[in-house]
Structure 1
Amino acid sequence: MISAVSPRRALSARPLALVSALSLCFLSSAALSAETQTLPAVTVTGARFASDPALAPIGATVISADEIRRAGAADVNQAIRQIGGVYGRQSLDGSPDFSLDLRGFGTNSSQNMVVTLDGVRMSESELSNATLSSIPIETVERIEIIRGGASVLYGEGATGGVIHIITRRPEANGRRGMLRAEAGQFGLRDLRAAMAQSWNGFALDASVGSQRTDNYRDHNEFALDTFSGGAQWAYQGGRAGVRYDRARQESDLPGALSARQFGENPRQANTPDDIGSLDSDRRTAFVEQRVGSVDLAAELSRRERTTRSTYFYTIEGKRMASKATYDSAQTQFSPRLRHLAQMGGVLNELVAGVDMVKWSRVTDSAYSDADATQKSRALYVRDELKFGGAHKARVAVGARRERFEKDATDARAFAAPYASKTTLNAWEVQGSVDVMPLVNLYAKAGRSYRVANVDENGYRAAPGVLAPQTSRDLELGVAYGDAALGANTRVFRHQLRNEIFYDPTVNGGYGANTNLDPTERKGVEFDVHASIARDWRVSGNWQHVLARFTDGPNAGRAMVLVPKNVVSARLAWVPGNGHSADIGFQWAGSQRFGADFANNCGARMASSTTFEARYARQIGAWEFAVAGLNLADKHYTSNAYGCNSGIYPSDGRQIKVSARYDF
């Protein structure tokens, strides 16, 4: 499939191309003059900077590359669900990009969570998930999961939390490569290759992947081809680089089932001819520079995305096709600075920055010809103090002010054209203290926000654009232990006003997007890990969340598609003699169907328990593994949009074998 580039899109790509070219010219000479300069070591991500581990995000969950490989996670999304314990709902298109849900935001979980890749925002300005499947899992150094409001540093949509994906930095004067092949049930074929080479201050890396699968359901074939490549230079006091990521995805769409169909055969398709595709291209340039006691950094990124779909329907016995193409583009420029200084026994980190984002989408379909744009400009500042002594403590305060401009025109759409401007503010206060050896108490309070995206404003319940959603966020936690034995307990509450959500009861029962009456998310999260013997390690997570209306005619009623409890646990065996094994399970409690706003549906989506496991054998540079997903072959669903209807079945049992060669 080939899509033409419009003159407007070509013009908007020129600034990135110019900056990339200038970076290449300047940095090549800098690298050549610094032959003895080595590439920087990997450090923990702090306030949007590579930072001292002492300033790691408070209360964050970190998934390492070793954990990812030992668990056999096939992609970033799966690693977040299996190892991080994050609840995910089965994708509707057969892709690995499950909808991840931090703190019980249901069908709008993706819009209440920010995903970044090496500091660049991947979250979309439309009703779609971040395409984590386009990130080669072999390039990931670690994944950081920060739960709770984080709009000060990451802007709109960060009420549920933030997921950072950090890729590996190359080693100085080194080479590494990998070839991997995997095959399994449902026609799975997955081939991958990656290589990185560095020479003193200069490094190149590239990876390719090709995946094909028939998936669990009929008419649900999925194909994905990816490429990722980059170059970076380390020079005196800094580093810089460019990167290009490309993904091409095609899907057969089986559609939703009724309860009767699901009971008879969950693998059947209800829409045997519907298809879709997604093309994505990302270009990024970055630079980091130290000037005295100040760190300067900036990213300039351009993402272009084309989505196509063809749906079939019947009117008066005549079969009709509805085709749609969405071309969207997003440009982000994020310069920032940090001053890190020691003042007596106090370490001070001051961070300030600007985020400028321009997003646009052009629609070509039988039911919509929408042109929509969104621009945002934000200024943020955050200061953190770390005190030493017997009772180490940290205090951080921050604020953000962001201006949004939105406009859309569409003569065919249900909603009228609009143009709006709004300014939103976020703030946060955080603190932690070591009350005794191995015991840390911490607290977070703040205000976060999100704005309605183009799809939500395009089909709304009332005239005028939807009001911004705001949340008052509060979290209290206690952390105990070290790498060998530890636990973390968090109590949280999010009080939301004007929550943006699809309400099936409005618009004469046809449903539309609207601002809900006041709602809340509150609950408890518990994480634990332990080395129970020399070769054995266990970890677990529990999330208990109440998602409900707090005012209006629905006061006290539960929000839909939110399990009250999710429990995950893993057991790993790593004897160090070439053998390794990993087994895990996740249990999700029952939840209300997607249309059950009145909480009067006579049934609920059943709870489910799934198991997965992997055994691997290392022989020299080779690794051979066998893995299984949903080993008990549980027939369940995580998506159902009607009362006992509109059901999308989740995957059944799948066994896979793989071989990997490292060089």
Structure 2
Amino acid sequence: MTFAAVSNSAPAFKPLALACAFSLTMFAAAAAAAAAAAHADEEAVSTVYVSGARFESDPALPPVGATTITAAEIRSSGAGDVNAAIRKIGGVYGRQSLDGSPDFGLDLRGFGTNSSQNLVILVDGVRMNENELAGAVLSSIPVDTVERIEITRGGSSVLYGEGATGGVINIVTKRGTQQGYHGSLVLEGGQFDQHDARLSLRHGEGPLSFDLAAANQATDNDRENNTFRQKTVSGGFQWAQDATRLGMRVESARQKSRFPGSLTLAEFNADPHQTNTPNDFGTLDSDRVTAFAEHRIGSVELAAELSHREREVVAVYDFGGFLSEGVYNSRQTQFSPRLRQLSRFDGMLNEFVAGVDLIRWERNTNFGSNASQDSKAIYARNELRFGGTRNARLALGARHETFEKEEGNTMLGVPDGEQSQNGWSIEGSIDPVAGVTVHAKAGQSYRLPNADENAVRSAQGLLDVQTSRDLELGVTVGDKARQVSARIFRHRLQDEIFYDPTATALNPFGANTNLDPTRRQGVELDAHVDLGANLRLSGHLQHVKAEFTGGPNAGREMVLVPKNVLTARLAWLPNNGHSADIGAQYVSNQRYGNDFGNDCSARIPSYTTVDARYALKLGAWEVAVNALNLADRQYFSQAFGCRSGIYPSDGRQLKLSARYDF
């Protein structure tokens, strides 16, 4: 099922809150006991900004090759949700959602239809991916609460587990430590009956702080039967003093969507706004509670998160006048304790990180596909900085993860089973001259077949684990005012998990299968330059070649992968209250979703979209006009058949907004 969702009702939070509080109490007690026995390292750990190896990174050890999107950049771009910020500012390619939500399918390094299964998304270090095909619901995260978004491209399974071959996106929210009351109110309206209202509030009082955010989003979208409604509320508190931080967050979202369905190419050319499914609709409810704790004992830092998430999805489809309702409830609990030790000796800095990830996922449905999965992982990573002014770094890491899968309904023929996999990485960098950094990464990442894929598969047993041998070489030249980064990469995949419409032995419509060997290789460029006159130009280019390297399809291109994606933005940010921002994204043509044989005579056409924003700040108020798809380009990025299965993208949309900061 492509429509994702999340949870049940508020009473479920009561035992969860008690469990989280108990965990935090035990964590603090253990930390205090360890402190009494520890040999303290008197050298203070520096204040940090960018997240590193699942901890706040020491300034001397920033992540290699990562892209950071700041809250200021999100605001100046006019991005109204997290997904849009990742696409517009981070240059990540996104495919139109199927349910009218802002949750476009994000794709790092050309993984096509299964891009969301080859990308790990975290919110404050907690994994959003689950054991199913539904992608992470980023629209439920209030964009005004985001402090920064960190994008790490390439294999990252050592620290983040299965599904991180394409990379990792970590969303870090504001922690409300500023003293006093602060917040914002945003009201926005636009075409397609779009109207949003967002409120955020933060308060700090000594070591204690809290935050609260609420949003109401609504739009009819550009197509018939494609309305989207969402209400979200989130809040949390933390206590932070000296070397200790404790806190808890609660988040809830309620979505209602209507499903416009797909069109043929002839229907798209005749009227891209129409629908063939006027009676299809669905709902998604989600709730999540997270408790976290951090404590530093000399040079050792301890941290842990305990998170529980529940979702309830309802999807109703009209089959010739007969309405079929699918309902499923899923829940996921994650506990992730870890430690880091920083030490300095003979001019060198060493960082050692080790931890455990324990995740329990289960799902119940009204159509018999009940399933559960337990995963247990242990990982370790060590990084050494040396070389004086050359700033040389070398890091080694390894991970072992075990998965136990159970299918609650044997009538579906999905076997129970256990699968395990190892991941490893080695990476290093050096500054050969001032202003130039060269880096290299190599490793093995992996992905497990999820419950949906095993339910419709091409073989009798469980699908095999997908593995990838990852390689990246890169160079960065310049400084904050003018910088260019270039990376060449290659992912050699064995047993890639993919839906193959030609695998009809067990299912006439195709099945999920382990493909013959495949490869992703290409080049990425990131650049920014301050042009003077308060102008800043930035851009991202991804060129990727995705193809089979073995079997009868050797040499053929993978489907739904554009070879080139180019994103560029020009920002004007004077200090007189005015600001403007204009951006464009070019996406080259790509093969239709079922064109495994590369024999469809047509391709999804290339397209370019332009967005722009102008804002004027008047004291505590800011008013802005925002335009999406400014040239009103009629295009599509989702198409699952040859000239069919098309999901059109939105036309031009103008929005007006007012923001009040206090």
Task: Report whether the alignment pairs 1:117 with 2:123.
Answer: yes
| SS of residue paired to 2:416 | strand
Change (3 A) 1:618 1:13: same
1:475 to 472, 483, 487: 472
- Correspondence for 1:19: 20
Partner of residue 229, structure 2: 223
**Residue 26 of structure 1: CA displacement?**
9.8
- Residue 162 of structure 1: SS of its match in structure 2? strand
Give 1:93-492 correspondences, 5 Å limit: 93-314=99-320, 319-364=321-366, 368-410=367-409, 413=412, 416-492=413-489
Deviation at 1:21, TM superposition (A): 5.3
Maintained 8 Å contact 1:393/1:432: yes
TM-score, L = length of structure 1: 0.94
> Judging changes above 3 Å, is the alpha-carbon distance between structure 1 residues 406 and 353 closer, same or farther for their aligned structure 2 residues?
same
- 2:167 aligned partner, one-letter code: G
Alignment match, 2:41: none
Q: Deviations over 1:309-355 (max 9, x none)?
A: 000112xxxx2111011100000000000000111110000000000
Judge conservation of contact 2:154–2:167 (CA < 8 Å) in 1.
Answer: yes
1:627 alignment counterpart: 626
- Per-residue deviation, 1:237: 1.3
> 2: CA distance between counterparts of 1:472 and 1:25?
40
In the TM superposition, residue 587 of structure 1 has moved relative to its aligned partner by: 0.3
Code of the residue aligned with 1:404 in structure 2: it is F
Q: Which residue of 2 aligns with 1:34?
A: none
Distance, in Å, in 2 between the alignment partners of 1:654 and 1:373 is 42
Counting only pairs closer than 5 Å after superposition, residues 521-536 of structure 1 correspond to structure 2 as 521-536=520-535
Aligned-partner residue type, residue 620 of structure 2: A
1:636 aligns with 635
* Offset of residue 223 of structure 1: 0.2
Residues 257 and 648, structure 1, Cα contact 8 Å, conserved in 2: yes
Does residue 52 in structure 1 map to residue 39 in structure 2?
Answer: no
The aligned residue for residue 552 of structure 2 is 553
How far off its partner does 1:5 sit? 7.0
CA contact (8 A) 1:548 1:555 kept: yes
Judging changes above 3 Å, is the alpha-carbon distance between structure 1 residues 567 and 172 closer, same or farther for their aligned structure 2 residues? closer
Instruction: Give the deviation of 1:581 after TM superposition.
Output: 0.2
Distance 2:443 2:516 in 1: 21
After superposition, residues 489-500 of structure 1 pair within 5 angstroms as: 489-500=486-497
Structure 1 residue matching 2:60: 3-state secondary structure:
helix
Return the offset for 1:168. Answer: 1.4
Q: Please tell me whether the aligned partners of residues 409 and 418 of structure 1 are also in contact (alpha carbons under 8 angstroms).
A: no
Q: Does the Cα contact within 8 Å between 1:369 and 1:411 map onto a contact in 2? A: no
Q: How many residues in Structure 1 have an aligned counterpart in Structure 2?
A: 641
Alignment of 1:484-633 (within 5 A): 484-508=481-505, 509-633=508-632
Q: Distance in 2 between matches of 1:26 and 1:474?
A: 38
Q: Distance in 1 between matches of 2:592 and 2:329?
A: 32
- Inter-partner Cα distance in structure 1 for 2:244 and 2:282: 43
Opposite residue 195 of structure 2, the aligned amino acid is: R
Calculate the aligned-residue CA RMSD, in Å.
Answer: 2.0
Report how far residue 390 of structure 1 moved: 2.2
Q: Which amino acid aligns with 1:499?
A: E
CA distance in 1, matches of 2:223, 2:48: 42
Offset at residue 291 of structure 1 (A): 1.2
Matched residue of 1:523: which SS?
strand
Distance 1:137 1:306 in 2: 23
CA drift of 1:417 comes to 2.8
Partners in 2 of 1:64 and 1:4 — Cα distance? Answer: 33
Give how far 1:20 is off: 2.2
- Secondary structure (helix, strand or coil) at the match of 1:457 reads helix
Tell which deviates more after alignment, 425-434 or 232-241. 232-241
| 1:26–1:456 Cα change, 3 Å | closer
Per-residue CA shift, 1:549-596, capped at 9, x if unaligned? Answer: 000000000000000000010000001100000000000000000000
| Code of the aligned partner of 2:261 | G
Structure 2 unaligned blocks of 5 or more? 32-45
* Distance change in 2, residues 1:3/1:604 (3 Å): closer
Whole-Å Cα distance in 2 between the matches of residues 381 and 271 of structure 1?
Answer: 50
- Amino acid in the other structure paired with 1:476: L
Say which SS state the counterpart of residue 17 (structure 1) adopts. helix
With 474-483 and 503-512 compared, the bigger mean Cα shift is at: 503-512
CA-to-aligned-CA distance 1:502-561 (integer Å, 9 cap, x gap): 000011552100000000000000111000114000001110000000000000000000
Deviations 1:438-476 (A, max 9, x none): 100000000000100000001001100100000000000
Q: Distance in 1 between matches of 2:394 and 2:515?
A: 35
Given that residues 42 and 169 in structure 1 are in contact (C-alpha distance below 8 angstroms), is that contact kept between their aligned partners in structure 2? no
Distance in structure 1 (CA, Å) of the matches to 2:572 and 2:302 = 43
Per the normalisation by structure 2, the TM-score is 0.94
Where in structure 1 are there 5+ consecutive unaligned residues? 31-39
Q: Would the alpha carbon gap of residues 359 and 209 (structure 1) be closer, same or farther in structure 2, given more than 3 Å must change?
A: same
The whole-number CA distance in structure 2 between the counterparts of 1:486 and 1:628 is 29
Going from structure 1 to structure 2, the CA distance change for 1:111 and 1:529 (only over 3 Å counts) comes to same
Question: What residue identity is the alignment partner of 1:515?
Answer: N
Match of 1:157, SS state, is: coil
TM-aligned CA deviation for residue 614 of structure 1: 0.3
Cα distance change on mapping 1:472 and 1:116 into 2, 3 Å: same
| Aligned-pair CA distance for 1:41 | 6.2
Whether the aligned pair in 1 keeps the contact of 2:495 and 2:514 (CA below 8 Å) is yes
CA contact (8 A) 1:16 1:302 kept: no
Q: Secondary structure at the match of 2:103?
A: coil
Greater shift, 50-59 or 586-595, is seen at 50-59
Q: Could you tell me whether the CA contact under 8 Å between 1:525 and 1:541 is conserved in 2?
A: yes
Post-superposition offset of 1:3: 7.9
Per the alignment, in what secondary structure is the counterpart of residue 125 of structure 1? coil
1:19 aligned partner, one-letter code: C
Residues 540 and 26 of structure 1: is their aligned pair in 2 closer, same or farther, counting only changes over 3 Å? Answer: closer
C-alpha change, 1:594 and 1:13, in structure 2 (3 Å) is farther
- Find runs of 4+ consecutive structure 1 residues off by over 3 angstroms: 1-6, 12-16, 21-28
Whether the 8 Å CA contact 1:115–1:164 is kept in 2: the answer is yes
Moved more, 513-522 or 167-176: 167-176
Q: Which residue of 2 aligns with 1:33?
A: none
Helix, strand or coil at the partner of 2:452: helix
